[in-house]
Amino acid sequence: MAELERHSFDVLVIGAGGAGLRAAIEAREHGMRTAVLCKSLFGKAHTVMAEGGIAAAMGNVNSNDSWQVHFRDTMRGGKFLNNWRMAELHAKEAPDRVWELETYGALFDRTADGRVSQRNFGGHEYPRLAHVGDRTGLELIRTLQQKIVSLQQEDHAETGDHEAKLRVFQEFTVSDLLVEDGRIAGAFGYWRESGRFALFTSPAVILATGGIGKSFKVTSNSWEYTGDGHALALRAGASLINMEFIQFHPTGMVWPPSVKGILVTESVRGDGGVLRNSEGKRFMFDYIPEVFKEKYADSEAEGDRWYTDADNNRRPPELLPRDEVARAINSEVKAGRGTEHGGVFLDVSTRLPAEEITRRLPSMHHQFKELADVDITAQPMEVGPTCHYVMGGVEVDPDTGASSVPGLFAAGEVSGGMHGSNRLGGNSLSDLLVFGRRAGTGASDYVSALPVRPVPSEAAVAEAQATALAPFSGEGGENPYTLHMELQQAMNDLVGIIRKAEEIEQALERLEGLKARARTLTVEGHRQFNPGWHLALDLRNMLVVSECVAKAALLRTESRGGHTRDDYPGMDPEWRRKLLVCRTTGPSEVDVEVKAQIPIREDLLELFDRGELEKYLTGDELGS
Ligand code: FAD
């Protein structure tokens, strides 16, 4: 084997978004020699794209807010499938994580009396999203990076080396985790630029790799979201849960084609934007589901009054959870009441003065002007659903982020459970900080208690290298770009926003075909910056993750949150008690098993009215 670049750390964090950076800070503060590896440039992660804000029950704009209300909203949003312990920790700890960010140097928008301002978002009972205009993720990443630099300065003062305890490796893609005797021993991957390989030995790995959107044709996600962490975890022996639940954000751009899918933040609706069909009707009033009827206005007049008097009016249905709004838009377009380009209208221009729009939504104003030549201060936007977020992910212990594989931890979008069947807007940024911190502690405690550190075997390293090089050895085989396009089309058309058994079965057949063809993938050229090769390796991950999504979607014969079955339109309380758990059984075979959901703790159940619980829980769960 050629000379291999080798590094050794106490904790490896894969991913430099909010979850990864917060985890790395925590591990370093626990005294661990920590490395952060990221596939893109440092600072370029999905977190930086987050627009609307970070949800935390600080009660700054409405003092009725509390962790209990946030917990309730999160459970309702996830249709009670959430891991309730995660939802509890999240609701309780999110305010501290926001305050902590300010100690790192973040500066959130302020209320008139100088408190952190909070805005309305779908599914949140009170204004709860702390924000920085519509560029909140940028501020979050900026300050987490700043904190890392300040820790490195401390390390320099102490040791003379900035990177003595915390080091960042950017544009490095992890292609395999190394496991010895069932325990994590390190990670193997390649530098994007040179294509050269490197081995990182470490007894603990924290996955913080984000989501899977690039398996779908229309998505708000960018090139890094190829489900790598999900697939790495599966191949290392960990399990994934809730993979059938994919969030289609209701408002992505639909025109022009080159920008289809790019996100239009929910803040547009939170700040007063309304949805209309091609007949000019504010159609969301026709789509308020029974379970939410009591909480939402049933007339435009009441919905409009809510923006200025939230205590005495109910919120407008444009602010229903995302799954409800996405399905409603889909139905309007299907019924022939869509716009010329297959979306609906989202209008804030008739609701707020132009200067207020440019102040509150500067990025949206810029995005539409630059990309679609639409001035949102004077014209409506055309919007439609776009694949945005995966609720499913690595099954973890809520308190520590530990997976079932010793030494493997996960936090952020790559982990599963917290959001149940549907995530509320703003709950991801808070999830990253709450569980990033917890995973950092979990991994540090694990390493501290480890009597002997596992060492990756040379055979495992050689195998990882051979797998990475395989696409160069074929001749005249499949082109990775063709396979990727076919995969995206199949997932979009057959396992998309509305699903039915025959279509999912067709998707699974196509996936089998794609998997077989992927074995003869061929890439041209050599390893130096070769995007075709990178895609060939990413495809291995996208295919196995897509199989998890499709197999779980076929098994779950009900509709709930981000999983809508045309052939099983109702929500079934029996299914609420079941989690679908995915594991790999061979190099690319996925097995899905039903596992019982842990019953919700009694004191948390008592936070809800019994009448509401009856909509979700079975009679025996309610003791009736
Ligand atoms: P990311 O921030 O995506 O980071 C993933 C990291 O993993 C990256 O550094 C990537 O390079 C790295 N990586 C991936 N694979 C590998 C590999 N194989 N090897 C090495 N590195 C790898 N949520 C909210 O709460 N509020 C919002 O307002 C909001 N707005 C959003 C707007 C947009 C346009 C999008 C797309 C999402 C938005 N979300 C929002 C969701 C939220 O931004 C994401 O869920 C969240 O940022 C994910 O963070 P993360 O730390 O899990 O992953």
> For 230-237, what is the mean pLDDT?
98
Based on the domain organization, do 395 and 325 belong to the same domain? no
Whether the CB of 18 sits within 6 Å of ligand 1: yes
Based on the domain organization, do 537 and 570 belong to the same domain? yes
pLDDT tens-digit map of 348-398: 999 999 999 999 899 899 999 999 999 999 999 999 999 999 999 999 999
- Establish if 613 belongs to a structural domain: no
pLDDT band at residue 60 under the 50/70/90 scheme: very high
Mind giving me the DSSP string for 222-269? -TT-S-HHHHHHHHHT--EE-TT-EEEEEEEE-SSGGGTT-B--THHH
What pLDDT is stored for residue 624 in this prediction?
Answer: 66
- Establish if 272 belongs to a structural domain: yes
Q: What percent of the chain has pLDDT over 70?
A: 99
- Establish if 138 belongs to a structural domain: yes
pLDDT band at residue 501 under the 50/70/90 scheme: very high
Whether the CB of 283 sits within 6 Å of ligand 1: no
Whether the CB of 221 sits within 6 Å of ligand 1: yes
Rounded Cα distance, 186 and 35, in Å: 12
CA of 112 to the centre of ligand 1 (A): 32
pLDDT band at residue 103 under the 50/70/90 scheme: very high
State which residues form the domain around 420. Answer: 5-51+132-246+389-449
For the domain that residue 36 is a member of, what is the CATH number? 3.50.50.60
Q: Is the pLDDT of residue 121 over 80?
A: yes
Based on the domain organization, do 573 and 590 belong to the same domain? yes
pLDDT band at residue 622 under the 50/70/90 scheme: confident
Whether the CB of 263 sits within 6 Å of ligand 1: yes
Rounded Cα distance, 500 and 557, in Å: 9
- Look at residues 387, 402, 429 and tell me which one is the last residue of a structural domain: 387
Based on the domain organization, do 254 and 227 belong to the same domain? no
What pLDDT is stored for residue 107 in this prediction?
Answer: 94
Q: How far is CA 121 from CA 41, 127, 237, 249, 272, in A?
A: 30, 7, 37, 13, 10
Pocket test for ligand 1, best of 22, 428, 432, 433 (most atoms within 8 A of CB): 428
pLDDT band at residue 588 under the 50/70/90 scheme: low
- Establish if 482 belongs to a structural domain: yes
CA of 506 to the centre of ligand 1 (A): 30
Rounded Cα distance, 146 and 104, in Å: 7
What pLDDT is stored for residue 50 in this prediction?
Answer: 92
pLDDT band at residue 323 under the 50/70/90 scheme: confident
Based on the domain organization, do 396 and 543 belong to the same domain? no
CA of 414 to the centre of ligand 1 (A): 9
Work out how many domains the chain is built from and give that number.
3
Based on the domain organization, do 306 and 224 belong to the same domain? no
Pocket test for ligand 1, best of 21, 98, 209 (most atoms within 8 A of CB): 209
The atom of ligand 1 lying closest to the CA of 47 is 47
What pLDDT is stored for residue 357 in this prediction?
Answer: 94
Q: Is the pLDDT of residue 291 over 90?
A: no
What pLDDT is stored for residue 43 in this prediction?
Answer: 87
Neighbours of 5 (CB within 10 A): 11
- Establish if 241 belongs to a structural domain: yes
The atom of ligand 1 lying closest to the CA of 426 is 25
CA of 261 to the centre of ligand 1 (A): 16
Q: Is the pLDDT of residue 287 over 80?
A: yes
Whether the CB of 228 sits within 6 Å of ligand 1: yes
> For 394-423, what is the mean pLDDT?
98
pLDDT band at residue 2 under the 50/70/90 scheme: low
- Establish if 607 belongs to a structural domain: no
pLDDT band at residue 52 under the 50/70/90 scheme: confident
Q: Where are the alpha helices (DSSP H) in 417-530?
A: 427-449, 458-473, 480-494, 501-518
For the domain that residue 285 is a member of, what is the CATH number? 3.90.700.10
Q: Is the pLDDT of residue 183 over 80?
A: yes
Q: Is the pLDDT of residue 427 over 80?
A: yes
Quick one: CA torsion of 28, 231, 501, 246, rounded to 10 degrees? 30
Q: Is the pLDDT of residue 587 over 80?
A: no
pLDDT tens-digit map of 189-199: 999 999 999 99
- Respond yes or no on whether ipTM tops 0.95: yes
What pLDDT is stored for residue 191 in this prediction?
Answer: 98
What pLDDT is stored for residue 96 in this prediction?
Answer: 98
For the domain that residue 526 is a member of, what is the CATH number? 1.20.58.100
- Establish if 528 belongs to a structural domain: yes
> For 318-324, what is the mean pLDDT?
89
Based on the domain organization, do 238 and 256 belong to the same domain? no
Pocket test for ligand 1, best of 13, 39, 44, 46 (most atoms within 8 A of CB): 46
CA of 214 to the centre of ligand 1 (A): 13
Q: Is the pLDDT of residue 493 over 70?
A: yes
What pLDDT is stored for residue 267 in this prediction?
Answer: 86
Active site residues: 322
Q: Is the pLDDT of residue 471 over 70?
A: yes
Q: Is the pLDDT of residue 476 over 80?
A: no
Based on the domain organization, do 239 and 213 belong to the same domain? yes
- Establish if 535 belongs to a structural domain: yes
What pLDDT is stored for residue 349 in this prediction?
Answer: 95
Higher pLDDT, 2 or 150: 150
